[in-house]
Structure 1
Amino acid sequence: MRYTGIARVLLVPALVGAVLAAPLGLELFGRMTGGAEDPRSGSATAARWSEEWYDAHDVVVLYRHPSVKVRDPRYRKAVHDSLRRLPAEHVSGLATYWTTGSASMASGDGHATYALVTLRDGDEQEHYAAVADRLRDVENLYAGVGGPVPLLAERNAQAAADLARAAAVAAPVLLALLVLVSGSLVAAAVPVLAGLAAVAGTIGLLRLFTEVAEVSITTLYAAAVLAFGLAAGYSVFVVRAVTDALDDEAPGERVTGAFGGEASRERALGGAGGVVALSGTALAVALLGLLLFPGASLSVLGPVAAAVALLATGVALVVPAALLGVVGPGVAGLRVVLGLRWRPRPFLPHLVATVVVLAALTVPYVQVELGGAGRRALPAGAESRRVAEIVGRGFPGNPLEAVDVHVLVERSFAGKPRRPGPLGQGHTPISAVTRVAASDVRSFADRLERLPHVTGVTVAGLSQEHGAVRLSVHHALDPMSGAAGELVASIRSVDPGPKVREVVAGGAAAARTDLLDAYTRALPWAVPLVCTLYWAILAAA
């Protein structure tokens, strides 16, 4: 069977599968995670302990009244009445200014406060969706919702909107450029269709990956761009090979297929397809080098990117060939402008021009600060971002951006150890150990308070089961800034004292610092490996 015939046969089941998998792919936007952390780092350990030992909050509800202050009993009644209406099957814990007595939960002007809501274990997004409207239903008060779970929900919704907007912008621009190059609307439309088909397939593929691994929003963006770029780029190469073959045919051969005209197009398709298959396979193998990076985003992006590269390669091999097999010589039809006919040019000027253009395109990235996106990935008007910024500006100590410090305290037996009984006659209960208290870490907290940029240190929790004290180190820095990273390093370098087993620092600033350190360690190994794998595949071919 000819190449175009095989492609047409494969196109039909591919289209049917895409239609049937569309509902499955749409589920992806409710299953993505943040993913920008090194799971082996201290900050990831701190986040896990906060969740497991202290029931860390999932939602922050900000309340504000223009004239009434939080000390007014009516304020308390409105907030607590709203929180009492939350279904117990979705909410496991609540904390407010009045239940905790924490002065830091009242704004500087006294007109705003916030509540911390802990959701039940399980699907946090599902629990949040069930109570989201009720959280905002507060009598006579403004209520805004933020925190980790709402922020992720907004980022998921934003990701879907971003993909639709990117497709709406990229497709017409690419189509216009390809029309300029090829001069044919039909030839220009084929790569655009292939790129959009690859993006649709990528969304379904990522949905399948969520069954075995966490897929972050960063992974979605990178995979979608990779799929569209590869499928469209490879399709341009395939279409160009066919149109060049058509340009070399006599006019009569295009109509009748005489003198080997159709055979020449099949050879052109076969040659271009072989190059595309080799390049896509080599790229997929090379992308597995991303497995060396420890961050959840990039470690998953390695196999995802490799799978997407193979998917885009398959789309570029099937879709253009099938469409070209249908339209035949009509691929050169609907000419709009005179296509640009490329001719051989001297190599060195092209190389110099390419290097200059690429260097110019990298200039904007000189000032880029790497790290987790967090709320800054959302538009300025997004509710989660607005809540976080209001709390950061209006409340003492920027409570939601504090460095999370877990101090594991040395403990001793509360009484004289019991003597074991005779062998085989049961067991002796383990003696009780001393309880941990805030006083166990007071000297360490005092040393932390003397660090630059620290505005205060408060006790955020005690875990008797694990012998730990949780401290919140407050500061006024942007957690994504280099100064915040230096503060985390200073906290980790402070001598905790003789009665402390371990100190683990977490929070947004620590997560960014750990992630950059992990990337710095992995980069010298990953780049040579990726290059070696890529060239090894090409050399073997």
Structure 2
Amino acid sequence: MSLARPAAPDAGGGLLARLAAAVLARPRAVLALAALLTVLTGVFGLGAHDRLALGGNSASTGDAVRADRWLGDHGAVGDAQLELLVATPDGVDSAASRQAGAAFTRLVAGQPGVRTVLSYWPSGPAALRSTDGRSALLLVRTAGDAVRSTESAARLGRSLSGRHGPLSVSATGTGPNYGDVMDQVGRDTRRAELFGSPLTLLILVAALGSLVAGLLPVAVGALAAAGTMAVLRLLTGVMAVSVLSENLTTTLGFGLAVDYCLFVVHRYREELAGGADPHPAVVTAIRTAGRTVVFSALTVALCSAGLLLVPVPFLRAMAATVVVVVLLAAAAALTVLPALLAVLGGHLDRLDPFAAVRRRLRRGAARPGFWHRLATRVVRHPLPWCLGAGLLLLALAVPAGHFRTALSDYRVLPASAPVSVTARAIGAGFDPAELAPTSVVLPDAPARDALAGYAARLARLPGVTRVDTVPGGWLSVVGPADSQSPEAERLVRLIRAVPAPGTALVGGRAAELVDTQQVLTDRLPWVALVVVLAMGGLLLLFSGSVLIAVKALLLSALSLTAVLGAMVAVFQDGHARWLVGGAPSYGQLEVTTPVLVLFLAFGLSIDYELFVISRIREEFRRTDDLARSITSGIGSTGGLISSAAAVVAVLLVVLAASELSLNRMFGAALALALLLDATVVRGVLVPAVMRLSGRANWWAPAGLGRLQQRLAVD
């Protein structure tokens, strides 16, 4: 065991140095190959959008899935994927309306992909008639698995909407919901391309000092974005990939590629400023900043890979895509970027639109920068700064104690969307409790007396209005009006606790939510444990310090809890909604979004940690002065990390401007996570905790240094 300063690495070699040398030997060949791959992946990825799937945001296992499958196999509507609201001016019971309604019902039943139709006409249940008698409902179940049935319902909703004689038809339900989501994703992608790239370039030019230097990360980011679409298309051949993945993964792929390039270019320019020739400067930049890029990509990939263990199709598809995209972004930054630097040579600093501003700033260059001054204050008084920053994050985290989740529905769309308008009209004109009962399937076909006794026991449960025995072996339990309310969730659990005459499968929207919550509750702690252990191992190898690895994990956990608290406060409780464009709040968060945000934010927070620690570690090896190493490391990386976080945050803010509440929540929450991490955590908590820890920062088990050298990571 040792408390000595970390040993210096071998400056002459290493895998990354050899990779850089190989690229520099044939830079134009590398660029030609990269250009060819960009074109090929771009062309191949053009068809990705049309292959993306709808749905997949709930658990693919559980009683609710089995109950819904049984109902479909036995001719029951169950949880209908398509709801058709049919309005008629002279009332649904007039002779003309009944005749037209019956004809329309036959038309719907004859459509390809339709399995079952439950209609008010000619003699359907009274629950399908509105209270004012001017509209009626058709509930349609489509054939296929969850993805194919949703896609069929979306297609049918579009084709059947409109005028049919005296009838006016509008559509809603899970199929039309996701169909409108797909259209909105396309519009969001075009807006991101229009605003995101120019804003990113502006930040990069300001950070790197010239238009030419700023264009390098954008070029590599464009390669990563093209590769992302190709990856999405490839994955659609082996799994259902949600349409929501398109915006999220292209944003991350482009943003991370830009960040990685920013780190490398910044280090390259430092080497040039120190008198190094261009080629040795590239090798040093790849050997040092490139090492951070490799570990950063591995951390984000590991965090994302953990979600592959969760049986929710959307999370699995996102995890698989992010893993490949992050590694692609890192590979591009370590191969294409050094080739570009070699070809550009001395032209890197050309075309600086902010040259006049920079000249004025240089006149006052004797004064240390903001991040250096902040680090100096923190190092002088670490305990007050540590307590203050910690209390700020804890205050933000308080609302996380009462967060609640729901499944995605029409509320993810703008209130003006036709699907949302139709859904609200159904909620106002019909009894929602009658339209969304809890289904209890009894596949063992119990005797009549046993079934009657079981139904009577269910009828006595709190919140149950009525229990209907449906021919074919299942029960319809009418309960709370809102199928995603706490009362509905409680009723599902109560039903499952009642002894049944044989197997009882509880289905319906509320049961689907309960099963999804249960899957996440069961799997996520184990997934988190595996991810934390893996990340701890990577941090230990990277830093050579047990304390630094543990500290990074704990600070990341604190900042992530603060992000969750902010999500609850804004998107669930409705506080400060103006920060996100006045987005409506419904008292719940979509069940998969917090999981995805927290896992990705964890990986990205470690990303910045690695870069800060690597610079502090270099300074400490050189000077053996901890206070000076901290202030120098924070001072030299603070502006760069702020720029890197700003790049990704800008892209996420553009995403947060979406009219889709899921994209809005994802973009805003992940942007907040990055900004908190780049400022409060890296600017205050990291230097404060390191100063308080003293030389214990570099404590490591005996033999760790030899292991690092053996694995070529030091």
Q: Does the TM-score normalized on the shorter chain lie above 0.5?
A: yes
Aligned to 1:3: 23
Aligned to 1:457: 467
Aligned to 1:512: 513
Q: Residue 475 of structure 1 aligns to which amino acid in structure 2?
A: P
Distance 1:295 1:133, change over 3 A: closer
Instruction: Write out per-residue CA displacement over residues 189-214 of structure 1, whole angstroms, 9 at most, x where no aligned residue.
Output: 33344334423322321221121122
Following superposition, the deviation at residue 172 of structure 1 comes to: 3.7
Aligned to 2:62: 41
Q: Which moved more, 1:480-489 or 1:171-180?
A: 171-180
How far apart are the structure 1 equivalents of 2:205 and 2:398? 30
2:118 is aligned with 1:95: yes
Secondary structure at the residue paired with 1:332? coil
How far apart are the structure 2 equivalents of 1:133 and 1:526? 43
What does 1:384-533 correspond to in 2, within 5 Å?
384-411=419-446, 441-459=451-469, 461-463=470-472, 468-477=473-482, 479-496=483-500, 500-533=501-534
How far apart are the structure 2 equivalents of 1:353 and 1:323? 44
Name the count of aligned residue pairs: 495
How far apart are the structure 1 equivalents of 2:36 and 2:389? 41
Q: Residue 384 of structure 1 aligns to which amino acid in structure 2?
A: V
How far apart are the structure 1 equivalents of 2:251 and 2:394? 21
2:464·2:479 contact (CA, 8 Å) conserved in 1? yes
Aligned to 1:210: 236
Q: Larger helix proportion, structure 1 or 2?
A: 2
Q: Residue 374 of structure 1 aligns to which amino acid in structure 2?
A: D
Secondary structure at the residue paired with 1:458? strand
How far apart are the structure 2 equivalents of 1:154 and 1:322? 43
What does 1:265-414 correspond to in 2, within 5 Å?
265-337=282-354, 338=357, 345-346=375-376, 348=379, 368-411=403-446
Aligned to 1:242: 268
Q: Which moved more, 1:325-334 or 1:485-494?
A: 325-334
Following superposition, the deviation at residue 512 of structure 1 comes to: 1.7
> Structure 2: where are the runs of 5+ without partners?
1-20, 362-368, 542-710
Instruction: Write out per-residue CA displacement over residues 252-309 of structure 1, whole angstroms, 9 at most, x where no aligned residue.
Output: xxxxxxx734432343244333431233134323432223323233344433332222
Q: Residue 287 of structure 1 aligns to which amino acid in structure 2?
A: S
Aligned to 2:616: none
> Structure 1: where are the runs of 5+ without partners?
250-258, 412-435
Secondary structure at the residue paired with 2:45? helix
Aligned to 2:536: 535
2:79 is aligned with 1:69: no
Secondary structure at the residue paired with 2:465? strand
Distance 1:364 1:335, change over 3 A: farther
Distance 1:114 1:442, change over 3 A: same
How far apart are the structure 2 equivalents of 1:354 and 1:274? 30
1:60·1:147 contact (CA, 8 Å) conserved in 2? yes
2:153·2:176 contact (CA, 8 Å) conserved in 1? no
Q: Residue 3 of structure 1 aligns to which amino acid in structure 2?
A: V
2:76 is aligned with 1:78: no
2:437·2:478 contact (CA, 8 Å) conserved in 1? yes
Instruction: Write out per-residue CA displacement over residues 422-448 of structure 1, whole angstroms, 9 at most, x where no aligned residue.
Output: xxxxxxxxxxxxxx77x7634433443
How far apart are the structure 2 equivalents of 1:405 and 1:233? 52
Distance 1:300 1:168, change over 3 A: same
2:439·2:474 contact (CA, 8 Å) conserved in 1? no
Following superposition, the deviation at residue 536 of structure 1 comes to: 2.6
Q: 1:21 aligns with which of 44, 48, 59?
A: 44
1:64·1:113 contact (CA, 8 Å) conserved in 2? yes
How far apart are the structure 1 equivalents of 2:336 and 2:390? 33
Q: 2:81 aligns with which of 55, 58, 67?
A: 58
TM-score normalized with structure 2 length: 0.62
Distance 1:462 1:218, change over 3 A: farther
Following superposition, the deviation at residue 488 of structure 1 comes to: 1.6
Distance 1:141 1:515, change over 3 A: same
Aligned to 1:423: none
Distance 1:73 1:503, change over 3 A: same
Secondary structure at the residue paired with 1:145? strand
Following superposition, the deviation at residue 97 of structure 1 comes to: 0.5
1:62·1:115 contact (CA, 8 Å) conserved in 2? yes
How far apart are the structure 1 equivalents of 2:283 and 2:243? 41
Aligned to 2:216: 190
How far apart are the structure 2 equivalents of 1:35 and 1:139? 36
1:10·1:318 contact (CA, 8 Å) conserved in 2? no
Aligned to 1:105: 128
TM-score normalized with structure 1 length: 0.80
Instruction: Write out per-residue CA displacement over residues 163-212 of structure 1, whole angstroms, 9 at most, x where no aligned residue.
Output: 33344444344333333333333333333443344233223212211211
Following superposition, the deviation at residue 358 of structure 1 comes to: 6.2
2:265·2:285 contact (CA, 8 Å) conserved in 1? no
Following superposition, the deviation at residue 106 of structure 1 comes to: 0.2
Instruction: Write out per-residue CA displacement over residues 402-424 of structure 1, whole angstroms, 9 at most, x where no aligned residue.
Output: 3222234554xxxxxxxxxxxxx
Distance 1:290 1:89, change over 3 A: closer
How far apart are the structure 2 equivalents of 1:189 and 1:445? 69
2:282 is aligned with 1:260: no
1:287·1:305 contact (CA, 8 Å) conserved in 2? yes
RMSD over aligned Cα, in angstroms?
A: 3.3
How far apart are the structure 2 equivalents of 1:353 and 1:244? 34
Following superposition, the deviation at residue 114 of structure 1 comes to: 1.1
Aligned to 2:572: none
